[in-house]
Homo-oligomer: A and B are copies of this chain.
Amino acid sequence: MLFERLCIIGPGLVGGSIARMARAHGGVARHVVTTAQSAASRARVRELGFADSVTDTAAEAVRGADGVILCVPVGAYAGVMAEIAPHLAPGAILSDAGSTKGSVVRDIAPLLPAGVHFVPAHPMAGTEFSGPDAGFATMFEGRYCIITPLPGSDAAAVAKVRAMWEAAGSMVETMDVATHDKVVAMVSHLPHLIAFTICGTADDLAEETREAVLKFAASGFRDFTRIAGSDVAMWRDIFLNNREALLEMLARFTEDSHALARAVRYGQAEFIEDRIHRGRKIRRGLIERKQA
């Protein structure tokens, strides 16, 4: 048994999926305890019954837990940590499921009690739905989970977190915090920023054209809006907490889009073809890696 008492703080899409997964696999946790900020969410989790117990406060939830996973928006970490830090059990493993890692280390590390092992993690899985009803036990199967151990992280604690994600069916990789934040800024945060933006751009078009935009939305635009249907608080916090890497990737992208726009303006066919070819090249790379 990896954990005697596994505490999930924030039983939404990700936290609820971890809880369901832990109860579906015999070897992960003997008892799953969870807590949510709103009374309505706690009541719903009790109804759904995917946790063994539900507490009213995070402080209660972590008491006696040998595993604690933060599954709230990353902007809420500092507040949650201030609440739970005095109540974390000695020897407990504290992990999380946030999409940014630099900000998580910044907010958690200063409040970490001696003897509690902090192992940041980022399961790269999700849907466009949110809340206690949205989770499911198999959400992490076949998906990557990135663990970003810190210098001096306890090897046994890292191994336990890895074992939990492997039990969930994930492919676990380790990476340093800065590389993680750069990579996810490129493959996830920037695409979402672009998707949210292009929806707003369309929304700003004159009423007549906007109706046509909605009516004739081609597959390209549908892809953008699909990834734009995500949780507001989660994405707000991701943008605010991976600011440097996100702004860097956006700056690179903007330079490149301006270069392509200039080629369009001046009719530079070869430059345009080169850009399209490069798109196809990286696409082939994805197919070869069976991620497509």
Measured CB to CB, the residues of A under 8 A from B are 124, 144, 146, 173, 175, 179, 182-184, 186-188, 190-205, 208-209, 212-230, 232-233, 235-236, 239-240, 243, 246-247, 249-250, 252-254, 256-258, 260-261, 264-265, 267, 269, 272-273, 275-283, 285-286, 289, 291-292
Name the one of B183, B197, B214 contacting A213, with C-beta atoms under 8 angstroms: B183
Q: List 21 A-B contacts (CB under 8 A).
A: A183-B212, A184-B216, A186-B213, A187-B213, A191-B220, A194-B194, A195-B279, A199-B283, A200-B275, A200-B279, A214-B289, A215-B291, A217-B289, A222-B292, A223-B223, A225-B279, A228-B276, A230-B276, A232-B273, A243-B265, A250-B257
Q: Of B183, B257, B280, which contacts A209 at CB under 8 A?
A: B183
Q: Per a CB cutoff under 8 Å, which of B224, B246, B272 touches A191?
A: B224
With beta carbons under 8 angstroms apart, the residue of B205, B222, B254 that contacts A291 is B222
Report how many copies the assembly holds. 2
Check B188–A229 contact: CB distance below 8 A.
no
Given the known inter-chain contacts A199-B278, A209-B183, please indicate yes or no for A292 contacting B124, CB distance below 8 A.
Answer: no
A202 and B49 alpha carbons, distance in the complex (Å)? 43
Report whether A283 and B187 are in contact in the complex, using a CB–CB cutoff of 8 Å: no
- Compute how far the CA of A286 lies from the CA of B198 in the bound complex, rounded to whole angstroms: 14
Residues of chain B lying within 8 A (CB to CB) of residue A256: 197-198, 200-201, 204
Smallest CB-CB separation from A258: which chain B residue? B254
Contact of B273 with A124 in the complex, beta carbons under 8 Å: no
Q: Contact between B282 and A240 (Cβ–Cβ < 8 Å)?
A: no
Contact partners of A194 in chain B: CB under 8 A: 194, 198, 257
- How far is it, in angstroms, between the C-alpha of A255 and the C-alpha of B263 when the chains are bound? 19
Task: Select from chain B the residue with minimum beta-carbon distance to A127.
Answer: B219
The one of B187, B214, B233, B265 in contact with A282, judged by C-beta atoms closer than 8 angstroms, is B214
CB-CB under 8 A from A191, the residues of chain B are 198, 218, 220-221, 223-224
Q: Which residues of chain B come closer than 8 Å to A272, judged between CB atoms? A: 235-236, 239-240
Chain B residue with Cβ nearest A260:
B197
- CA separation between A196 and B260, bound complex, in Å? 9
